[in-house]
């Protein structure tokens, strides 16, 4: 029995082997996107840091030129079959804003994916349990990033819930801060499919994903926001996992979110 393809004609959130936790060649992702009948495939691997090494998490600075050349070569090779965009996913670090501007000048777009507070490892880390102050710090930095004008959209706004034991008042405050800011700046915010690879857990007396988290998105849905579906592909086959994508979207269907259907970058 075939699974119906979701009404998504693009994916701007695609990683490559350079980040150290994705697999497949760059061209493998293009071939998968063609199989999935995408109109646009955007590559947005984890951006490097000039003075910090994060092997297994981000590409290294000396890999950036190869990444840019590879994606640009694929743009040309497949120009009559699919539109390919060159992007990067990166954190907003206030002290490194000039470095972020340099990255932005090299690509078609930047995605704001706030995983930590500092490339040196200080502050919050979205994949650990965070206290109230760290959760609120996360929201403040995300809002600063959205104010910077560097980013085309916000990835996984609810990633900070990863490994949290409860949906606390601080998380609700963070969700409202982010909802208000993306509405004010008119920047799309992402339902992140990759989060569904983590098991659901009991939160607010219901089984939910850490992200995309229904409770968090219920708060966001009260704001005037536009939503982008991001596969956050770390393997080419994830671009055509239609059943998983549909299941995630069905989880949030009751919120009547305005999902962007047509390519916008």
Instruction: Look at residue 86 and tell me if it is in a domain.
Output: yes
What pLDDT is stored for residue 218 in this prediction? 97
Specify the CATH number for the domain of residue 176: 3.20.20.140
What pLDDT is stored for residue 121 in this prediction? 66
Both structure tokens of 104: 């932005």
Neighbouring-strand partners of residue 10: 40
| Separation of alpha carbons 77 and 75, rounded Å | 6
Answer whether 219's CB lies under 8 Å from 253's CB.
no
Instruction: Look at residue 265 and tell me if it is in a domain.
Output: no
| Separation of alpha carbons 231 and 62, rounded Å | 27
Burial 227-249 (b: 16+ CB within 10 A, else e): bbbbbbbbebebbbbeebbeebb
pLDDT tier at 4 (50, 70, 90 boundaries)?
low
- Parent domain of 42: 10-255
Question: Helix axis angle, 64-77 relative to 26-35, nearest 10°?
Answer: 40
Torsion of CA 256, 257, 261, 265, to 10 degrees: 170
Instruction: Look at residue 41 and tell me if it is in a domain.
Output: yes
- Please count the structural domains in the chain: 1
With pLDDT > 90 as the criterion, what percentage of the chain qualifies? Answer: 86
Instruction: Look at residue 206 and tell me if it is in a domain.
Output: yes
Both structure tokens of 45: 């691997």
Instruction: Look at residue 221 and tell me if it is in a domain.
Output: yes
Instruction: Look at residue 263 and tell me if it is in a domain.
Output: no
Instruction: Look at residue 264 and tell me if it is in a domain.
Output: no
Instruction: Look at residue 260 and tell me if it is in a domain.
Output: no
- The mean pLDDT of 60-70, rounded to a whole number, is 98
Strands 40-46 and 83-90: parallel
- The DSSP code sequence of the chain is -PPPPPS--EE--B--GGGSS--S-HHHHHHHHHHTT-SEEEEEEEPPBTTB--TTTS--GGGHHHHHHHHHHHHHHTTTT-EEEEEEEE---GGGHHHHHHHHHHSSEEEE---BS-TTS-S-BTTS---HHHHHHHHHHHHHHHHTT--SEE--TTGGGTT-SS--HHHHHHHHHHHHHHHHHT--EEEEGGGGGSPPEEETTEEE-SSS-HHHHHHHTTS---EEEE--BSSGGGGG-HHHHHHHHHHTGGG---B--S---
What distances in angstroms separate CA 208 from CA 46, 211, 214, one per listed residue? 26, 8, 7
Please tell me the pTM assigned to this model: 0.96
pLDDT tier at 199 (50, 70, 90 boundaries)?
confident
User: What are the pLDDT digits (tens) for 107-164?
Assistant: 999 999 999 998 876 789 998 999 999 999 999 999 999 999 999 999 999 999 998 9
């Amino acid at each position: 029995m075939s699974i119906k393809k979701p009404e998504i004609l693009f994916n701007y959130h695609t990683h490559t082997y350079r980040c150290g936790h994705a697999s497949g060649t760059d061209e493998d992702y293009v071939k998968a996107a063609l199989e999935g009948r995408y109109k646009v495939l955007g590559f947005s691997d984890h951006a490097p840091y000039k003075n910090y090494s994060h092997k297994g998490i981000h590409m290294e600075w000396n890999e950036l030129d190869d990444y840019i050349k590879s994606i640009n070569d694929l743009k040309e090779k497949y120009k009559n079959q699919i539109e390919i965009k060159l992007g990067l996913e990166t954190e907003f670090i206030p002290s490194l804003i000039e470095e972020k501007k340099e990255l932005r000048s090299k690509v078609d777009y930047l995605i704001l994916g706030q995983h930590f507070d500092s490339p040196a490892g200080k502050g919050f880390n979205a994949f650990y349990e965070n206290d109230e102050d760290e959760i609120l710090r996360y929201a403040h930095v995300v809002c600063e990033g959205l104010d910077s004008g560097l980013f085309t959209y916000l990835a996984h706004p609810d990633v900070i819930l990863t490994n949290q034991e409860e949906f606390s008042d601080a998380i609700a405050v963070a969700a409202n801060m982010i909802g208000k800011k993306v509405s004010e700046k008119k920047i799309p915010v992402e339902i992140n499919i990759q989060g569904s690879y983590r098991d659901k857990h009991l939160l607010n007396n219901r089984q939910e994903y850490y992200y995309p988290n229904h409770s968090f998105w219920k708060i966001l849905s009260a704001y005037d926001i536009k939503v982008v579906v991001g596969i956050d592909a770390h393997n080419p086959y994830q671009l055509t996992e239609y059943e998983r994508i549909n299941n995630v979207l069905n989880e949030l269907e009751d919120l009547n979110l305005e999902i962007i259907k047509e390519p916008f970058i």
